[in-house]
């Protein structure tokens, strides 16, 4: 059932002057309680945690309209198998992929889908959905992948068997994805930016090297900062009149500020770096869809990570530093 959420809209003031307001967006919340793409249970609780942390209220306070379409139900399970014995939950992941592709594609003509995960295997479906929509509109689809990992394995190459490590290879149109359905409109490497990565397996690196994917790993960001690499990619999106999908993984953030993830990698984005990324994305006016992935509330500290992720969405959707309320975790 579609549940519109209606909140009063406050005025926006700064030192006695009314601030220009960003264009209103119709935000469509879609729950994706996907837990099968990895082996540490808990991501299925992610959509409820985002709702509890006030995602809808945060968006409405910024002047956006909010529609919560509830949680997606996976397609019926098929008898899918593959040659790689390490792969687990293949039928379940394919079922989620089909359902999430359809849910995302259905939402895009009506607003900005915000998919609340759920582990990152959900992007097998969401990125397929946005790519199919872009192709139908005759526009180029771009993806910015905010993640500690490249997620560039295929079903054939993964040794862990965790399919949350495969969405970008699938989106790029690589072979090795039988029995998944063909990706509807493969995204060229030059339209993909990996931002903040710091953990890549040798097999993934071998697959990525022939591509034109922009890789802004933490070494690049340490040397060049956040602004220049991100703006360079956004300029390409703008020049192509493209649509931009943002996939935000909790492990993009340093685990010291975001502990609720089963794939922690030290050296991630700081609180301020993460907000700067979101603010620059907002100022670009290019973002058309968003994934929030890998939140595992079972590993959180009194909702700390869920609140931070909601806060980052606030920055993405127009909240400035001077508007942000003080957070209390007591």
Residue 196 per-residue DSSP state? S
- Count of Cβ atoms closer than 10 Å to residue 242 Cβ: 19
Q: Provide the annotated active-site residues.
A: 120, 147, 149, 151, 164, 249, 251, 294
Helices (H), the chain: 46-52, 55-61, 90-107, 123-137, 167-171, 202-208, 218-224, 227-239, 271-284, 304-316
Q: How many CA atoms lie within 13 A of 330 on its CB side?
A: 2
- Does 179 sit behind a cis peptide bond, omega within 30 degrees of 0 on the bond before it? yes
Lookup result for tokens 């995302």 = 104
Q: Give a three-class secondary structure readout of 265-288.
A: CCCCECHHHHHHHHHHHHHHCCEE
CA distances from 102 to 12, 33, 182, 276, 293 (A): 37, 16, 14, 32, 18
The two three-digit tokens of residue 221, written as one number: 């960001």
CA distance 22 to 15: 18
- 275: nearest Cα among 230, 216, 234, 239: 230
């Amino acid at each position: 059932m579609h549940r519109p959420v209606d909140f009063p809209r406050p005025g926006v003031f700064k030192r006695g002057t009314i601030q220009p307001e960003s264009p209103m967006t119709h935000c469509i919340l879609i729950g994706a309680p996907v837990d099968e793409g990895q082996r540490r249970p808990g991501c299925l609780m992610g959509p409820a945690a985002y709702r509890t942390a006030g995602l809808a209220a945060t968006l409405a306070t910024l002047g956006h309209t909010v529609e919560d379409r509830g949680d997606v139900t996976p397609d019926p399970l098929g008898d899918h198998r593959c040659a790689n014995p390490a792969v687990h939950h293949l039928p379940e992941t394919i079922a989620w992929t089909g359902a999430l592709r359809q849910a995302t594609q259905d939402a895009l003509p009506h607003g900005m889908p915000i998919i609340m995960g759920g582990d990152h295997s959900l992007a097998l479906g969401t990125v397929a959905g946005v790519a199919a929509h872009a192709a139908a509109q005759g526009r180029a689809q771009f993806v910015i992948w905010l993640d500690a990992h490249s997620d560039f394995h295929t079903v054939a190459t993964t040794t862990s068997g965790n399919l949350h490590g495969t969405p970008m290879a699938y989106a790029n149109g690589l072979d090795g994805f039988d029995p998944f359905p063909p990706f509807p409109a493969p995204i060229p490497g030059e339209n993909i930016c990996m931002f903040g990565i710091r953990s890549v397996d040798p097999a993934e690196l071998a697959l990525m090297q022939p591509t034109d994917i922009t890789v802004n790993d933490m070494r690049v960001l340490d040397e060049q900062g956040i602004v220049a690499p991100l703006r360079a990619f956004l300029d390409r999106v703008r020049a192509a009149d493209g649509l931009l999908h943002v996939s935000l993984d909790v492990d993009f953030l340093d685990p010291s500020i975001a502990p609720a993830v089963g794939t922690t990698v030290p050296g991630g984005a700081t609180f301020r770096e993460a907000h700067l990324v979101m603010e620059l994305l907002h100022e670009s006016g290019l973002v058309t869809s968003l994934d929030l992935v890998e939140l595992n509330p079972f590993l959180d500290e009194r909702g700390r990570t869920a609140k931070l992720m909601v806060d980052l969405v606030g920055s993405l959707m127009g909240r400035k530093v001077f508007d942000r309320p003080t957070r209390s975790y007591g």
